[in-house]
Amino acid sequence: VNSWVEVPDGSDFPLENLAMGVGHRGGGPARPHVAIGDHALDLAGISADGLLDKLVGSEFDQASLNAFLALGPSRWRAVRERLTELLDEGSGQVDRLRGHLVAREELTMVLPIEVADYVDFYSSLHHATNLGRMFRPDGEPLLPNWRHLPVGYHGRSGTVVVSGASIPRPCGLRADGDDVVFGPSRLLDIELEVGFVVGAGSERGQSVRVDDADQHVFGVVLLNDWSARDIQAFEYQPLGPFLAKSFATSISPWVVPLEALRPHFTEGPVQKPTPADYLRATRPWAIPLELEVELNATTISRTDFTDMYWTFAQQLAHTTINGASLRTGDLYGSGTVSGTDFTARGSLIELTWRGTEPLMLADGSTRTFLADGDSVTIRGWCGGNGSARIGFGEVQGTIVAAGTKESS
């Protein structure tokens, strides 16, 4: 299928994608847009112009997607169908639409959603095994709960930032032998993750069935869960990571609708032991995304999301099995995506094996953890071999120096 808007070869945003984001030009108000090739269509504009019929009210006249997401899956589908018609090469509305089309490079993107609760999982078998080996060399790498449930915890929703936001190096306490030292983190890391955006909420006291995940999840983003390993190591017992993660979490600006990825859904790995009923799906929920991480100008990791042990549908069912409600704008991360290969690991701590095996970058410099000025970019896509490429664009962040000096 082709659009009347030119979609360059290899674009992340063909007509089959219709990713949504929120951006502004100059100092104008930020408004929802839908991406098409190198352009984006102003959804507030076409809605005001009557081009979305009565499918939405003022939901696009907002600085986030939340109001639209709250409309729920049948309305998401109806709007998607209408946008597909409007952007199709056979559209009868090209002249009216052109006035609402903007080059994506002219848009300044903001956070696409007001984040309600943010949860981060830990669902890659390879990642959990690698960290277990490093931190508990004498024990079983996987803890007893890991194959029974998708381990996760709540993160800080107020510091979720959009791609391009700079990342000040966090300060905190770390152990240094028997001393405790305060200062900027020395072991600043990334975590390559995929994020899921909840559109339709649920009632407190109810649980969401794993096969109903698509009634709640609207779409998918790339996510970088910046992590300060030295702060984490000192603080995380017994209640989990806090300051090691809460300073920033970056997401990509374009939310790829689950609907665009659905044709690609596939079976994930076999799970043994068989999980509890509430985690058993009757249809496939794994998503074969290809993911890569670039540090400055060097690709340092290439991995595949298909291989994640727990699916996003299982993670959603788990989140609600205790009766916790979902809200529009809830965001959850898959956990670091690591594959079996050394080059398929999604964090520096794994890629450099806790700093013992530095990476060589294209400029000849080496890295164990991130230096000030480093730029990290994550990209991802699905399909593209004979099928439409459903891409995510990128999530990028640059480390800037901490404002505070070290002291002990």
The 180-209 site mask, x for binding a copy of itself (CB under 8 A), equals x-x---------------------xxxx--
How far apart, in whole angstroms, are the C-alpha atoms of residue 408 and residue 406? 7
Residue 115 CB: number of other CB atoms within 10 A? Answer: 24
Return the number of other C-beta atoms located less than 10 Å from residue 126's C-beta. Answer: 21
Residue among 180 and 362 whose Cβ is closer to a copy of itself: 180
x-or-dash string of contact with a copy of itself, 273-292, rule CB under 8 A: ---xxx--------------
Q: Are strands 192-198 and 217-224 parallel, antiparallel or unpaired?
A: antiparallel
- Give 32's strand partners: 22
Query: Interface with a copy of itself includes 137 (CB under 8 A)?
Result: no
**Which of 231, 293, 300, 331 forms a contact with a copy of itself (CB under 8 A)?**
231
Q: Which is nearer to a copy of itself, 385 or 408 (CB)?
A: 408
Q: Given the DSSP bridges, would you call strands 249-251 and 375-382 parallel, antiparallel or unpaired?
A: unpaired
Is 228 a binding residue for a copy of itself by CB under 8 A? The answer is yes
- With contacts defined by CB under 8 A, how many residues of the chain interact with a copy of itself? 66
Q: Which of 12, 189, 235, 350 binds a copy of itself (CB under 8 A)?
A: 235
Compute how many other C-beta atoms are within 10 angstroms of the C-beta atom of residue 69: 29
Q: What sign does the dihedral 155-236-369-288 (CA atoms) show?
A: negative
- Our answer to whether residue 24 is catalytic in this structure is no
Interface mask (CB under 8 A) for a copy of itself, residues 297-336, using x and -? ---------------------xx-xxxxxxx--x------
Residue 11 interacts with a copy of itself (CB under 8 A)?
no
Q: What is the CA radius of gyration of the chain?
A: 21
Nearer to a copy of itself, 73 or 170 (CB): 170
Contact 303, 291 (CB under 8 A): yes
Does residue 96 interact with a copy of itself by CB under 8 A?
no
**Contact between 161 and a copy of itself per CB under 8 A:** yes
Q: Indicate which single residue of 11, 129, 159, 271 sits in contact with a copy of itself (rule: CB under 8 A).
A: 159
Catalytic residue (one of 39, 126, 127, 318): 127
State the nearest-atom distance from the C-beta of 399 to a copy of itself, in Å.
12
30-38, 71-79, 349-357, 400-408 -> range binding a copy of itself (CB under 8 A):
400-408
In angstroms, what is the minimal distance from the CB of 369 to a copy of itself?
16
**Is residue 125 a contact residue for a copy of itself (CB under 8 A)?**
no
Q: Between 23 and 201, name the residue whose CB sits nearer to a copy of itself.
A: 201
Interface pick for a copy of itself out of 238, 282, 363, 386 (rule CB under 8 A): 238
| Beta strands 227-228; 152-155: pairing state | unpaired
Nearer to a copy of itself, 26 or 273 (CB): 273
Which of 49, 153, 304, 375 is close enough to bind a copy of itself by CB under 8 A? Answer: 153
- Cβ proximity to a copy of itself: between 52 and 160 the closer is 160
Residues 6+ apart with CB under 8 A from 386: none
Q: Please tell me whether residue 69 binds a copy of itself under the rule CB under 8 A.
A: no
- Residue numbers annotated as active site: 127
Residues that bind a copy of itself (CB under 8 A): 116-117, 119-120, 122, 135, 143-145, 148-149, 151-159, 161, 168, 170-173, 175, 180, 182, 204-207, 228, 231, 234-244, 246-248, 276-278, 318-319, 321-327, 330, 402-404, 407
